[in-house]
Amino acid sequence: MADRQDLVAKSRLIDEMSVKNRLIEFFTKWEVILVIIFTLMVLFFSGRTPYFLDWFNLMNATFQFSEKAIMALPMIFIIMCGDIDISIASIIALCAYAVGTAAQAGASIPSLLFISLLVGTLAGLFNGVMITGLNMPAIAVTLATQSMYRGISIGLLGDQARTSFPDGFGIFGQEFIPNTIIPYEFVLYLALMLLFAFILHKTTYGRRLYAIGNSAEAARFSGVNVKLTRIINFTVTGFFCGLTAMLLASRILSVRSNIATGWDLEIITLVVLGGVAITGGKGTVFGVFVGSLLVGYLKFGMGLLKFSGTLMTIVIGSLLITAVLLPRLLDLYKANRKLRLQAQH
């Protein structure tokens, strides 16, 4: 009888430890921590101003970050493989120049979309071929093309602006879905987010990205065409630069050579904040989705409270440092805890 009671007690203890381990494992996931931070942020701003949780204001605020959030999606694939692309803002500027110039010449909206996507795709393909063909670091190549693409825009456009666009061009970046207050841009972002989540987490291509990020050499020996995969990543990113240029030009109805300046680091911030390891091989689309909402609505809330631009930059920078350091600390904690549990057994 006593042996049976001891067995029951040990079984309960094991069950309690199992539940405890699962809870610790769950609440130390970076995506869960981001959701908690986002919830606390919403509670903070809603308690400070009645305008934060206004449905129209929340939807209207998405205009300020949807384009960057869209660009963060293909950037996930690039960083997942251990690469980086700091030329995306310059590609957007080049595509926007092409759109503005073609619009001034009388091109139709479908033609403008085709031109923008073509220019962006070719620019991204050039990046990928240069990086893989010459076996050069992605940061070195994209730093060079960053200057080159921006230089082309400045050289051809100068300090002029393109402001002539076809009728109805502004619908993509300014309008809401009929009979709702939901912007077209935000709906497009949600659809693309689901598409990228499916590709990354449910397809062979997504598994290849994780494999390359963890060890490109091992992935190569496993039969993965690493060079082709990296070229596809940069080409797809260029394609989305073209799409983003169309959306941005549609929203502001103006194209200048300095358009999208500084977006490179802001977009990379969204990806890293979302939990994608800067060294590659780790991360989720959901984390980047929550990170994008967090940064977007954090800026919106600080704007409502009239925080200075400098303070906003400090807060976002602090979040980025946290995003880089905390996951590493959590990994160390999990590893040490696993060793302790093994020692106890």
Residue 6 lies in a domain: no
For residue 107, what are the domain limits?
A: 40-330
CATH of the domain at 93: 1.10.3470
The sign of the torsion formed by the CA atoms of 335, 340, 342, 343 equals: positive
Could you give the C-alpha distances from 16 to 13, 26, 237, in angstroms and in order? 5, 15, 47
The domain total for the chain is: 1
Instruction: Name beta bridge partners: 210.
Output: none
Residue 186 lies in a domain: yes
Residue 321 lies in a domain: yes
Could you give the C-alpha distances from 327 to 3, 40, 165, 177, 343, in angstroms and in order? 44, 19, 46, 38, 24
Decide if 115 contacts 178 (C-beta within 8 A): no
Of 77, 121, 125, which is closest to residue 95 (Cα–Cα)?
121
Tokens of 286: 């959901």
Residue 252 lies in a domain: yes
Tokens of 21: 């381990």
What is the DSSP secondary structure assignment for residue 162, as one 8-state letter? B
Residue 338 lies in a domain: no
Q: How far apart are CA 298 and CA 311, in angstroms?
A: 12
Q: Which residues of 15-30 are buried (b: 16+ CB within 10 A; e: fewer)?
A: eeeeeeeeeeeeebeb
Instruction: Name beta bridge partners: 183.
Output: 176
Residue 20 lies in a domain: no
Residue 237 lies in a domain: yes
Decide if 79 contacts 276 (C-beta within 8 A): yes
- pLDDT tens string, the chain, 345 residues long: the values are 555 555 555 555 455 556 777 777 777 788 998 999 999 999 999 999 999 999 999 999 999 999 999 999 999 999 999 999 999 999 999 999 999 999 999 999 999 999 999 999 999 999 999 999 999 999 999 999 999 999 999 999 988 999 999 999 999 899 999 999 999 999 999 999 999 999 999 999 999 999 999 999 999 999 999 999 999 999 999 999 999 999 999 999 999 999 999 899 899 999 999 999 888 999 999 999 999 999 999 999 999 999 888 888 888 888 888 877 877 787 777 777 777 767 766
